[in-house]
Structure 1
Amino acid sequence: MKAKTTPATVLVALLLTTPVALLAQSDSSTDKKTSQVQLPEHEKPNLIRSMEPSPLPRAATADQTTAAKLVYGLLSDSRYAYRPVTLDDTLSADIYKRYLESLDGGKQFFTAQDIAKFDAYKLKLDDAIKSGDLAPAYAIFSTYKQRVDQRVTFARNLLKQDIFDFSGTDRYEYDREDAPWATDAAALDALWKASVRNDWLRLKLAGKKPEDIRKTLDKRYANMGKSIAELKGEDVFQTFLNSYANSVDPHTDYFTPKTADNFNVSMSLSLEGIGAVLQKQDDVVAIREIVPGGPAGKSGKLKPGDRVVAVGQGESGAMEDVIGWRIDDVVAKIRGAKGTKVRLDVIPAEAGLDSQPQRLVLVRDKVRLEDQAAKSKVITIPATEGGPQKRIGVIELPGFYQDFEGRRKNSSDYASATRDVAKLLEKLRGEKVDGVVLDLRNNGGGSLNEAIELTGLFIDRGPVVQVRESGGRVSVEGDSDTGIAWEGPLAVLINRGSASASEIFAGAIQDYGRGLVIGETSFGKGTVQNLVDLDRWPANEEARFGQVKLTIAQFFRVSGGSTQNKGVVPDVAFPVSVDASEYGESTYDNALPWTRISAVPHTAYGNFAPLLPKLEALHTARIANDKEFQWWSQDVAEFREERAKKWVSLNEADRRAERDREDAKRKTRQEQRKALGLDLDPLADDSFDDGLSANERDIAKDAEREKLADKRPDPLLRESAAILADAVRLLNADRQLSAQVLPTATIAGHWAD
């Protein structure tokens, strides 16, 4: 049912007249959390401060009031939202539930008594959004802030007590998502006591001394309180409006102007700044990684672990002390237009924080985030009784990225997943590979256009995806360019983290019979989102109202089926690492159901059904002797068993025995790798659990460890390459089978030797 025409609806109608980018992206690839830090109490000489903390407001600003009304007009109108939901008392109750979950999903802070008081707002949030008077949201958050302060104080006081005997049978129940709210503060005390004891035990098992454990945990809990204390009104506003947006469907989101900028950077793989990845550690922002080719890298004067303590703009702008700032505020100061200068006061990683900082002047430039772009390599599959050695090219694609602005301006170097993959295919062709595996594991999606154009690299014109709008109109989007960039053997590797645009591509390759799909059933997100800039009308000079990622359509495969909820089912399946009840579209309580529409005519390049039993048999026989694959399967089974428990023992002897077993298992596996001539695991000597959180580790060492993780043995990728090699050998050895599987002469010829 359409909502009444309101001023907000009229504004929405006007702002939607400008085309915006279509997205096919899973929420799993968008981090909705905001990193928070504390502002310091002290002042430093010769520096000025412009970021003094301000009290959290109790009501929305004028801009937020307008934004709330705009979002309401957008989400409640069937002309725009694919599945509009009337904003009434029923939806208000759902928004209320989601808002509480977003604040305290683990039920660690609120008590049942708090919830009973909040219930007065349960059926009033719809009116709050319509009017833009969001006082109820701020009131609930105010109590949340108080409860966090209380819990932090309680946890820090526990560190002074003698509660760290671990000889009993106590447990820490860490999964409280489905648990009832704690009856009172005493019940929360018991929960937090178990949590603190678990934190202590982890550090003790990692070899830390009591005084160091106490110091580490006291700082950890204090930082927890600081992070909540530094939340701003815009953070509360975004969290609350997202509770509304997510009540409409799982993939509709509201972004503040700052969050929208970060989202656009992630989609375009480019930004204008210095080319450094920053991380918050205690009260200081430090360099975690230097982006190759950026101003920071070219200067040769910054390295991982260096701390940024002050930032100045241009040649003479005042230096602002940024110790204690939120990381997003520091990033905003360092980023800037290409060609402008930024001055940084930096303390080297090896120096004490009270050391004299070094002044560094950098000229900002456009920076390409290459580590998130497509990459390629070649895997050699040894000869077998079935045929000779095969060289399989692998292209790893972490996202369907596109620089929408760069494409609109027709820039020659705009970031594009399809353009990058096309270049890599040409490179692999020059290396004379026998087949290509496109690795889409954990690829959460991105640009719908990129999914269509990428498919076009492997088919010679034709439909790729069907898109059904809210009114029921179905359009067919496809590849209109003649020619194929890669005609040879192809496989697509997916897992439960492969979503949306990944599913469009994998589904099209499967429907066309163009290649094999290998791995796990995918995420199951079959909807399309549109980014709507709320500042398009009126034409604000500065971003004020934010953006909405709005579900506007559902996509269907050319075969007529939807990937919604069911995902893409692989031709050759690997063991399930994450169950559908734990992760994926099927876990959302308001996800669209699976359905299908009519198929559209498309070329059948192949039919792999007759080949699959032979591939399965070879796959089963091979992994029976593949140690790495067996170890992976064993780890998956153990992980799922442990996850199902939802608790850990607080008995030191039990936990130490578990730790010793894990250490012994890693060492034994590494010794077997050496004996069998397998690639060694560069992280085999790492501790099973160091007990530290990410911001407590040495930044440079942690960043290096992250890079080493990319070099760990990957039995799933290697097995995927082996399966594709099997397919090539089988089809080359049996011409009758080849004619049955690949009836199209053009493609069949390129699968042959």
Structure 2
Amino acid sequence: MKLKKFPVLLLSLALVTPLALLARADGDALPATAPTADQATTSKLVYGLLSDSRYAYRPRALDDALSQDVFKRYLEALDGGKQFFTAQDIAKFAPYQTQMDDAIRSGNLEPAYDIFAVYRQRVDQRVAYARALLKQDFDFSGDERWEYDREKAPWPADAQELDGIWRKSVMNDWLRLKLAGKKPEDIRKTLDKRYANLKRSVGELKSEDVFQTFLNAYTSAIDPHTDYFTPKTAENFNQSMSLSLEGIGAVLQRQDDLIAIREIVPGGPADLSGKLKVGDRIVSVGQGASGPMTDVIGWRIDDVVAQIRGKKDTKVRLEYIPAEAGIDGAHQQVVITRQKVKLEEQAAKAETIVVPAGAGEPERRIGVIKLPAFYQDFEGRRRNPNDFTSATRDIARLLAQFKIDGVDGVVMDLRQNGGGSLDEAIELTGLFIDKGPVVQVRESGGRVTVNSDRKPGVAWDGPLAVLINRGSASASEIFAGAIQDYGRGLVIGETSFGKGTVQNLVDLDRWPANEKPRFGQVKLTIAQFFRVAGGSTQHKGVVPDIAFPVSVDATEYGENTYDNALPWTKIAAVPHTQYGNFAPLLPRLEARHAARVVDDREFQWWAEDVAHFRAEKAKKYVSLNESERRAERDRQETQRKQRQEERRALGLALDPLADDSLDDGLGAAERDIVKDAAREKLAEKRPDPLLRESAAILADAIDVLGQDRQLSAQVLPESSGPGRWAE
């Protein structure tokens, strides 16, 4: 199939979460042991798609070898930490190793559901054991330790070995709460509820959850970025890409049996109602201005969301308990008219950093644009190509404001940006270059297409830097790589993720032409992309011009950690303008950077914390000795106070979370939702030494090139076009 037949091209990371962690309670959940007729059809459709070279970039025959791989990945999805199944269970499952291929091809999914049925039993048994342990006291004076990283550990031999693993896990949970100041009776209540919720969650999983997990064991065996979405998860994915939905504009979170409001979208219907607030708990939902109310206590959060979402201009009624009232507090009601809600919190945002004047150098104002994803409203673009949500359109407006404000340079902050729309990556690059190729795309048959920015002119022709880290992937790497290949700007930070493949959303209902979604969608790898200079970002990522200390070990996170990722390769370069060559400038910038960060306390603290974190993570265990753990906690507390005092002495901005930075031993659903939401907001205001230093490096480049005309002519030979850094 030709690439042009895929209008929606995606470049993004997809994280596969163990099924147990996706579990959410539902008062009337369907039994998870029964595959449906639609699932059988879906399985056959996905098989046909992934085994056909007209669609898949790297199709794999569904034979016994792949069947064994699917089997292994399915077990990992269910029990990646090897805390439920025993080696005896795995031995009993052994005949299924070569039956997974037949199950997928035929749509006879019983093997997957049989394994899941045992998994559910083992969860019940483990939870019962953990809850029984809470009746005793623990001795934390020994030299035991909890080895939490069990991914590469062998399967426990039997239930007795699992008992030992779970005893240490429970001890660690208990010790965390004890160190946070909790009393034994409170610890018992908290952990008993935590383990009971785990049992209930897994026990109430629906058939569609099991099916999605099994099919993703198959898709991930093809390549790391091919995924299956049920109709419900496909809808959520598309909404996240468009940054909009039709509903009331509230983010929900489950706490015990209730659904609470975690966040209210500013300007959305819930906000404009003036009644709902963070922490309110929803107990019933009704459709329209009148009629019956449906009790949603104990429901899964996605089922409650489905009740609240709806078409624009329709009404929904919510019965809720106010946050300040107890669980038995008086109920209140509100009628809200649904509207299209824009998720502004996930959109591109701008700020300005002032870099102080130096010796003989002026103060510099550096504009920063933070882009969390390359989002685009695909459906909105089809309906109206002149008015749709788009990262590029948003950033063009921010750049126009920067020009009005007279900033000296711009930093594009793409840290943790896992990608998104290929079109957006190309069009965003076009805001900084005056026409030309941006990325090369090679299909499975070997045909290479060059995707270019065809619009003349630029939105920003001045100094530019791109800030990346290990979490910058795919579309982020296309943009950063193109800026680097053109010599259009500096790339600063860490080597990026290394994802160099292109995905497309394939609607499985397109062939049966269903009126309503039944079979879901597949995010399918259809091509590999290459930089205009010919190299791939696959595995290698984008290497920064100015490097910061590595925060995440490349052996633990990145494309190279996938056992079936495509290898690195290279194709021919395509002609493109070389606006600049920063190589002669880099030694001067690195020297200034090194000299500055020596005296930058925030940067040094960050480097110290990263080194400590990596050292602790490399151990893959924590001590269960209370004295050792308390000494470490005291060290952290002393360090926190010392740093805060030093901030005051140096006139630095205080860390708003300095008084709330130690481990409280709780999970997200166990904390006070109002306080936790406020804490998230404060986290956005924490000092960001890496962003500040990136702005300083860009200011250095402006100053050095402005002072050294000979160097400027060498670095920026195309100084009359985009990339004009010095007057």
TM-score normalised by L of structure 1: 0.95
* Aligned-partner Cα distance in 2 for 1:377–1:126: 53
Which residue number corresponds to residue 213 of structure 2? 239
1:20 and 1:531 in contact (8 A); partners too: no
From 131, 145, 148, the counterpart of 2:106? 131
From 555, 567, 574, the counterpart of 1:581? 555
From 136, 144, 150, the counterpart of 2:125? 150
| Inter-CA distance 503–338: structure 2 relative to 1 (3 Å threshold) | same
Residue 738 (1) aligns with residue 725 (2)? no
Residue 499 (1) aligns with residue 473 (2)? yes
Read off the aligned partner of 2:625 and give its amino acid letter: N
Residues 681-692 of structure 1 mapped to structure 2, 5 A cutoff: 681-692=655-666
Q: Percent of aligned positions with the same letter in both sequences? A: 73
Give per-residue Cα distances to partners, 1:11-69, cap 9 Å, x unaligned: xx89x9974411011225999987433345xxxxxxxxxxx2332233x2111111000
Which residue number corresponds to residue 195 of structure 1? 169
Residue 214 (1) aligns with residue 188 (2)? yes
Read off the aligned partner of 1:359 and give its amino acid letter: Q
Structure 1, gaps ≥5 residues long: 1-12, 41-51
2:433 and 2:722 in contact (8 A); partners too: no
* Aligned-partner Cα distance in 1 for 2:497–2:79: 26
Read off the aligned partner of 2:63 and give its amino acid letter: D
Residue 545 (1) aligns with residue 532 (2)? no
Read off the aligned partner of 1:741 and give its amino acid letter: V
Which residue number corresponds to residue 63 of structure 1? 38
Residues 515-526 of structure 1 mapped to structure 2, 5 A cutoff: 515-526=489-500
The more displaced of 673-682 and 350-359 is: 350-359
1:386 and 1:729 in contact (8 A); partners too: no
From 333, 350, 353, the counterpart of 1:359? 333
Which residue number corresponds to residue 47 of structure 1? none
2:321 and 2:330 in contact (8 A); partners too: yes
Residue 25 (1) aligns with residue 12 (2)? yes
SS for the counterpart of 1:568 is coil
From 25, 29, 34, the counterpart of 1:38? 25
1:28 and 1:497 in contact (8 A); partners too: no
Give per-residue Cα distances to partners, 1:244-274, cap 9 Å, x unaligned: 0000000000000000011011111100000
2:44 and 2:104 in contact (8 A); partners too: yes
From 274, 291, 295, the counterpart of 1:300? 274
Residue 435 (1) aligns with residue 402 (2)? no
| Inter-CA distance 34–269: structure 2 relative to 1 (3 Å threshold) | farther
SS for the counterpart of 1:343 is strand
From 252, 260, 264, the counterpart of 1:278? 252
Number of residue pairs aligned between Structure 1 and Structure 2? 727
| Inter-CA distance 32–206: structure 2 relative to 1 (3 Å threshold) | same
| Inter-CA distance 26–217: structure 2 relative to 1 (3 Å threshold) | same
* Aligned-partner Cα distance in 2 for 1:140–1:167: 40
* Aligned-partner Cα distance in 1 for 2:704–2:360: 7
Residue 536 (1) aligns with residue 510 (2)? yes
Which residue number corresponds to residue 421 of structure 2? 447
TM-score normalised by L of structure 2: 0.98
* Aligned-partner Cα distance in 2 for 1:355–1:387: 63
* Aligned-partner Cα distance in 1 for 2:558–2:699: 31
Give per-residue Cα distances to partners, 1:231-255, cap 9 Å, x unaligned: 1000000000000000000000000
SS for the counterpart of 1:237 is helix
From 379, 387, 394, the counterpart of 2:353? 379
Read off the aligned partner of 1:685 and give its amino acid letter: D
1:399 and 1:443 in contact (8 A); partners too: yes
Which residue number corresponds to residue 77 of structure 2? 102
Residue 642 (1) aligns with residue 629 (2)? no
From 626, 641, 644, the counterpart of 1:667? 641
SS for the counterpart of 1:394 is strand
1:749: Cα distance to partner?
7.6
Which residue number corresponds to residue 600 of structure 2? 626
Read off the aligned partner of 1:704 and give its amino acid letter: A
* Aligned-partner Cα distance in 2 for 1:674–1:97: 54
Which residue number corresponds to residue 585 of structure 2? 611
Give per-residue Cα distances to partners, 1:490-545, cap 9 Å, x unaligned: 00000000000000000000000000000000000000000000011222111000
2:269 and 2:336 in contact (8 A); partners too: yes
* Aligned-partner Cα distance in 1 for 2:531–2:461: 22
Read off the aligned partner of 1:114 and give its amino acid letter: D
Give per-residue Cα distances to partners, 1:255-300, cap 9 Å, x unaligned: 0000001101111110000000000111100000000111001111
Which residue number corresponds to residue 77 of structure 1? 52
Give per-residue Cα distances to partners, 1:543-563, cap 9 Å, x unaligned: 000000000000000000000
* Aligned-partner Cα distance in 1 for 2:386–2:328: 47
From 699, 706, 709, the counterpart of 2:680? 706
Give per-residue Cα distances to partners, 1:424-480, cap 9 Å, x unaligned: 101111111000000000000000000000000000000000000000000000100
Read off the aligned partner of 1:68 and give its amino acid letter: S
Read off the aligned partner of 2:688 and give its amino acid letter: D
* Aligned-partner Cα distance in 2 for 1:334–1:18: 35
| Inter-CA distance 465–159: structure 2 relative to 1 (3 Å threshold) | same
* Aligned-partner Cα distance in 1 for 2:30–2:414: 44
1:37 and 1:283 in contact (8 A); partners too: no
The more displaced of 353-362 and 329-338 is: 353-362
Which residue number corresponds to residue 362 of structure 2? 388
* Aligned-partner Cα distance in 1 for 2:691–2:128: 48
Residue 54 (1) aligns with residue 30 (2)? yes
Read off the aligned partner of 1:420 and give its amino acid letter: D
* Aligned-partner Cα distance in 1 for 2:389–2:240: 11
* Aligned-partner Cα distance in 2 for 1:667–1:310: 46
* Aligned-partner Cα distance in 2 for 1:342–1:623: 54
1:439 and 1:492 in contact (8 A); partners too: yes
SS for the counterpart of 1:745 is coil
Which residue number corresponds to residue 140 of structure 1? 115
Which residue number corresponds to residue 416 of structure 1? 390
Give per-residue Cα distances to partners, 1:585-632, cap 9 Å, x unaligned: 000000000000000000000000000000000000000111011000
Give per-residue Cα distances to partners, 1:648-703, cap 9 Å, x unaligned: 11111110110000011111001101100111100011141000000000111101
Residue 463 (1) aligns with residue 450 (2)? no
| Inter-CA distance 540–222: structure 2 relative to 1 (3 Å threshold) | same
| Inter-CA distance 492–29: structure 2 relative to 1 (3 Å threshold) | farther
Read off the aligned partner of 2:49 and give its amino acid letter: L
1:37 and 1:324 in contact (8 A); partners too: no
1:165: Cα distance to partner?
1.6
Which residue number corresponds to residue 119 of structure 1? 94
SS for the counterpart of 2:720 is helix
Runs of 4+ displaced beyond 6 Å? 29-34
Which residue number corresponds to residue 263 of structure 1? 237
Which residue number corresponds to residue 5 of structure 1? none
* Aligned-partner Cα distance in 2 for 1:32–1:380: 46
* Aligned-partner Cα distance in 1 for 2:320–2:486: 55
Read off the aligned partner of 1:464 and give its amino acid letter: V
Read off the aligned partner of 1:56 and give its amino acid letter: A
* Aligned-partner Cα distance in 1 for 2:84–2:312: 45
